[in-house]
Chains A and B, each alone.
Chain A
Amino acid sequence: TQLLEQSPQFLSIQEGENLTVYCNSSSVFSSLQWYRQEPGEGPVLLVTVVTGGEVKKLKRLTFQFGDARKDSSLHITAAQPGDTGLYLCAASRGGSNYKLTFGKGTLLTVNP
């Protein structure tokens, strides 16, 4: 059972548009990671957020961790075709529990 809910599941937009994808849970996590995955490849780490309310920026990508550390969002400004891929959020409970729980992902297509 997936404990992380991602929305939307699919998103198709035109180049230059902005978008936000969400990752929600009823559980509190010690840290949350966002990955991007292309077909036939492994997930590539984008960012790790740890502190409630934390905001991190990576070029046109802005990541936010909710104040209660139960949810996160990823905002992309002026999307480009190279942003196309599956965006996965993953979280761990911390302590001695290191395994990651993943959401199902948001499949983003940016059309030129």
Chain B
Amino acid sequence: DTGVSQDPRHKITKRGQNVTFRCDPISEHNRLYWYRQTLGQGPEFLTYFQNEAQLEKSRLLSDRFSAERPKGSFSTLEIQRTEQGDSAMYLCASSLSGRSTDTQYFGPGTRLTVL
């Protein structure tokens, strides 16, 4: 399978704990995106990378959130001191620049539940 993969698929944690999610994009894709989706809503943009550079961050991304993409390959999203409001599906997507449209392909997501 050469699609976008995410790990873990599910994470249950207690309030105040730190969590880290991983995303592996489609191998030749140089752009990587993180979105968050809560129940009954469409995904909302969090941040995106072109290669290893983080080029944009949403105001949704508080100081407790940090994302990295070392070497421009996989990416991690860390949430420190989790809160119940962080419970959501965290989606990763990737795309290839240089094409006429920036079509993004999504992974299966990581479902986070904060107790």
Q: Do A and B bind each other?
A: yes
Chain A positions within 8 Å of B, measured between CB atoms, are: 2, 4, 30-31, 33, 35, 40-45, 48, 50, 88, 90, 92, 98-105
Contacting residues, chain A, for B41 (C-beta < 8 A):
2, 104
Binding site for A on B (CB under 8 A): 4, 6, 31, 33, 35, 40-45, 48, 56, 58, 91, 93, 95, 100-109, 111
Measured between alpha carbons, how far is A98 from B30 in the docked complex, in Å? 13
Give the Cβ gap from A104 to chain B, nearest Cβ, in Å.
5
A100 to B36, CA, bound (A): 12
Q: How far is the CA of A105 from the CA of B38 in the complex (A)?
A: 12
Query: Which of chain A's residues has its CB closest to B50's CB?
Result: A98
A99 and B48 form a contact (CB under 8 A): yes
27 intermolecular pairs with C-beta atoms under 8 Å apart: A2-B41, A2-B42, A31-B101, A40-B109, A42-B108, A43-B43, A43-B91, A43-B106, A44-B106, A45-B104, A48-B101, A50-B101, A90-B42, A92-B102, A98-B33, A98-B48, A99-B45, A99-B48, A99-B56, A100-B33, A100-B35, A100-B45, A100-B104, A101-B45, A102-B42, A102-B43, A104-B40
* Residue in B44, B95, B105 whose CB lies within 8 Å of A102: B44
Tell me whether B42 and A98 are in contact (CB under 8 A): no
> With A33-B103, A48-B101, A99-B56 in contact, do A40 and B111 touch (Cβ < 8 Å)?
yes
Assess whether A33 is in contact with B104, with CB atoms less than 8 Å apart: yes
Set of chain B residues within 8 Å of A88, measured between Cβ atoms: 42-43
B7 to nearest A CB, angstroms? 13
Which of chain B's residues have a CB closer than 8 A to the CB of A100?
A: 33, 35, 43, 45, 93, 104
